[in-house]
A and B are shown apart, each in its own frame.
Chain A
Amino acid sequence: MLSRVADAVFWTARYMERTDNILRMLRTNYIASQDEILEFDWRPWVKQYGPPDDKSQIEIVSYRDVINYLILSRQHDASVFSFIVRARENARSVQDFITKELWQCLNDYYHLIRSPHTEQLLLNDDPLTAMDSLLRESTIYYGTVDTTMGRGEGYTFINLGKFVERSLQSLDLLSMKLETLPKGASEASHWKYLLYSLSGYEFHGKYYKNSLHTHDVIHQLLFNPQFPHSVLYSLIQTERYFKRLGPISLPDHFKEIEFAVGKAVNDLKYSLVDCKDVDNLQELFKTSRQQVLTIGQKLATLYFGYS
């Protein structure tokens, strides 16, 4: 397939994955913030999901400001609005390649985030209703990719984008949580909310058969091979999809990335770091993150390099 098209579908998938992650986090945090006696601290979240180079940190007076900034803002590139616009622009440039259903689904998503009704709900009425309908579009997107796209190269690049992005999101989230969590009584409830956002709370109970321990949550998010948001799961999927490119690739290009992906998977899988050892964990996050970024860069030069 055309390099430009591969690039566009890869990034469509990345933007959609980011959108899904942010919305899930915001949704649960919003519920948490309504349920809390003390003022909920939104700053780490704004720092985490806001634009990295935005020095003019917004003034947060209420949760509405956060919602406006992270979901609706047209002023910076890291809002849900910008992601959806980008995902759709990418999809538009490859409209002939993706299925009509997929295009219409992204187009509907775009019209939903732009609708005055959504804005009204988010800023003045019940934000949960708006976030739920946005997340429903996101779920429709995953389903549409799955049921309509042919299992060729395009599908492979969409999945590569999805899992590369997901592993980065999970790594960053864990790292941020470990840095900013208040120690003490409320710790468990914070981890609980995090698991809620990733639909991992029930899974936790079934898998770990224990009351909630921080190190178990870290294990779930980092190493659990059955949890779809764990870093290891995402990397294993990245490897699985990448291998499908073998028969159609230039051998040298394929080998180079196959090595990078394999190393990232195995370095994590056979890591000796203890989930209770917070300092060494941060080191592991950093290495893993760098490895995933390298995979992205290598894909950009060896498979998407068309200019």
Chain B
Amino acid sequence: MNLSNFLEDYNSNPTVWDEMCLKGDIRQHYQLFFDYFQRSSGEEIEKKDELAKKLFMSQGITFTVYSSGEGIEKIFPFDLIPRIITGSEWEHIEAGIKQRLKALNIFLRDVYHDQFIIKDGIVPAALINSCPNFLREMVGVEVPFGIYTHIAGIDLIRDSDGSFYVLEDNLRTPSGVSYMLENRNMTYRLFPGLMPKNGVRSVKDYPDLLLKNLLSLANSQKSEPTVVLLTPGIFNSAYFEHTTLARLMGIELVEGRDLVVDNAKVFMKTTAGLKQVDVIYRRVDDEFLDPLVFNSESILGVSGLYHAYRKGNVAIVNAMGNGVADDKAIYTFVPQMIKYYLNEEPILKTVPTYSMDDPEHFNHVFKDVDKMVIKQTNGSGGYGMLMGHSATETQVVEYKSEVIKNPRQFIAQPIISLSSVPCYINGKIQPRRVDLRPFALYGPQGIEIVPGGLTRVALREGSLVVNSSQGGGSKDTWVLM
């Protein structure tokens, strides 16, 4: 097989923004990579694809599916062709995310303290009070440096005109950053020499930046603060990420059962007795963090943790109660927040969002349901949503009755087409739809974003769902100088 004429078979949809092609021509920032591909034979690329799979397997970058008592190792689908972003596109994204995150962080501080934004009538009180992720326990709690959103993963998509939209703000425990790092490690083994030639910016500083931020949150009286990463354990699907981050930062990876609270201080159980913990980067959801305050059946958390947190004896990253800011119904108000708190125009666009508890919106959405996607306000993983264009009539009817039961928990958005990128599938280069999740770190010195992120790709032809639980994969993301 020869790849030299693969462009002829590359049928990108003309109504979709393709990252590589513009009306049959190759965009300039893809040119070097494209030339490389044209010079390669089909066998070479096939070999690279196999090598990637083998490397993922032998490095244990896998998730385990348990069936009949025996674990089966699966690798997250990885596509070997990197997604390339130009320096100026990145500048725009970076500025947009920083602005957005700044506003969201002020919003969290405001909503848990004075609630000016409600008093000034920007965000309706009912919306906040009905949000299941608004934690009354956090009202009046002072968090270190007033930072709530230490780590954020903002999901971006590109509409048919190429402009970037924010699809979701993940402000609780966003995952995927280890794949950003591992995918990069994979690419330089698959395409030796190609990255320096293209001027790809490095992402390897991420763990250092994160550790620096975590350390700075500890009580300043302490010379050697103890930072830990709290994981739900080996059965969690993101366990690989937890171990990777703990190892890269050189901090302890703890489970709830390793920690104990005594006299409102948190300790970990070591071979030499108890040792105090100062900062917890937790990958356990709010609900499971402290069985005394939240879900009493949780065995993933630590009894008394909330009390220690309130007293300021331990810093928790991200802060508790962030779910109120990344709720999909609150999402609609982020542009207003940016104007209200920062007095700036939003840099990144927001997808028009209809709240289903508004009867007018409700009727409008179900009249044009084939152009809509309906989602749960606090759902994730691509579960529990209805893609209007591909749903059957019965599915729509069933979904509608669910919405009527609890309209506050649903929103609808017009379907945004998502840009496409070239992917290597079944020996051919084919366009598939992608989103982009850059990871932003908010520390006492400000917001930093490593140039890159996780590009998730919907591997099924025509699909718009990129979640790994729904047949999605990922690819390396190159941000050029």
| Chain A interface residues (CB < 8 Å from chain B) | 1-6, 74, 85, 89, 92-97, 100, 103-104, 107-108, 111, 153, 157, 245, 248-250, 303-307
With an 8 Å Cβ cutoff, the count of chain B residues facing the other chain is 29
Task: Name B247's contact: one of A85, A92, A95, A153 (CB within 8 Å).
Answer: A95
Task: Name A107's contact: one of B59, B242, B247, B257 (CB within 8 Å).
Answer: B59
Bound: A94/B252 CA distance, A: 10
User: Assuming the A-B contacts A250-B273, A303-B271, are A2 and B257 also in contact, with contact meaning beta carbons closer than 8 angstroms in the complex?
Assistant: no
Query: Is A3 touching B234 in the complex (CB atoms < 8 A)?
Result: no
User: Which B377-423 residues sit within 8 Å CB-CB of chain A?
Assistant: none
Query: Is A74 touching B70 in the complex (CB atoms < 8 A)?
Result: yes
Residue of chain B at shortest CB distance from A4: B258
Query: Is B243 touching A96 in the complex (CB atoms < 8 A)?
Result: yes
Determine how close the nearest CB of chain B comes to the CB of A23; give it in whole angstroms: 21
Task: Name B253's contact: one of A97, A108, A250, A306 (CB within 8 Å).
Answer: A97
Query: Is A96 touching B60 in the complex (CB atoms < 8 A)?
Result: no
Bound: A248/B71 CA distance, A: 37
Query: Is A104 touching B59 in the complex (CB atoms < 8 A)?
Result: yes
A to B CB contacts below 8 Å, 25 in the list: A2-B252, A2-B254, A2-B269, A3-B270, A4-B258, A5-B252, A6-B271, A92-B243, A95-B60, A95-B243, A95-B247, A95-B253, A96-B244, A97-B253, A100-B59, A104-B58, A107-B58, A107-B59, A111-B73, A153-B271, A157-B271, A248-B271, A248-B272, A250-B272, A307-B257
Secondary structure call for the B interface: mixed
Task: Name A96's contact: one of B71, B247, B269 (CB within 8 Å).
Answer: B247
User: Assuming the A-B contacts A96-B253, A97-B253, A306-B258, are A2 and B268 also in contact, with contact meaning beta carbons closer than 8 angstroms in the complex?
Assistant: yes
Query: Is A111 touching B58 in the complex (CB atoms < 8 A)?
Result: yes
Residue of chain B at shortest CB distance from A6: B271
Our count of residue pairs bridging A and B at CB distance below 8 angstroms stands at 73
15 extra interface residue pairs, beta carbon distance < 8 Å, beyond A92-B234, A249-B272: A2-B268, A2-B270, A4-B269, A74-B70, A93-B233, A93-B234, A94-B253, A96-B253, A97-B247, A97-B253, A100-B59, A100-B247, A111-B73, A245-B271, A304-B271
- Using Cβ atoms and an 8 Å threshold, which residues of chain A touch B246? 96
Query: Is A89 touching B247 in the complex (CB atoms < 8 A)?
Result: no
Bound: A100/B244 CA distance, A: 10
B57 within 8 Å of A by Cβ? yes
Query: Lowest 7 CB-CB distances: which A-B pairs, in order?
Result: A96-B246, A95-B243, A96-B247, A107-B60, A306-B269, A96-B253, A96-B243
Bound: A306/B252 CA distance, A: 15
Determine how close the nearest CB of chain B comes to the CB of A116; give it in whole angstroms: 14
Query: Is A1 touching B271 in the complex (CB atoms < 8 A)?
Result: yes
Bound: A96/B58 CA distance, A: 16
- Using Cβ atoms and an 8 Å threshold, which residues of chain A touch B240? 95
User: Assuming the A-B contacts A74-B70, A93-B234, are A1 and B59 also in contact, with contact meaning beta carbons closer than 8 angstroms in the complex?
Assistant: no
B255 within 8 Å of A by Cβ? yes
Residue of chain A at shortest CB distance from B234: A93
Query: Is A104 touching B60 in the complex (CB atoms < 8 A)?
Result: yes
Query: Is A92 touching B60 in the complex (CB atoms < 8 A)?
Result: yes
- Using Cβ atoms and an 8 Å threshold, which residues of chain A touch B239? 92
Determine how close the nearest CB of chain A comes to the CB of B233; give it in whole angstroms: 8
- Using Cβ atoms and an 8 Å threshold, which residues of chain A touch B229? 96
Bound: A153/B272 CA distance, A: 11
Query: Is A3 touching B269 in the complex (CB atoms < 8 A)?
Result: yes
Residue of chain A at shortest CB distance from B260: A306
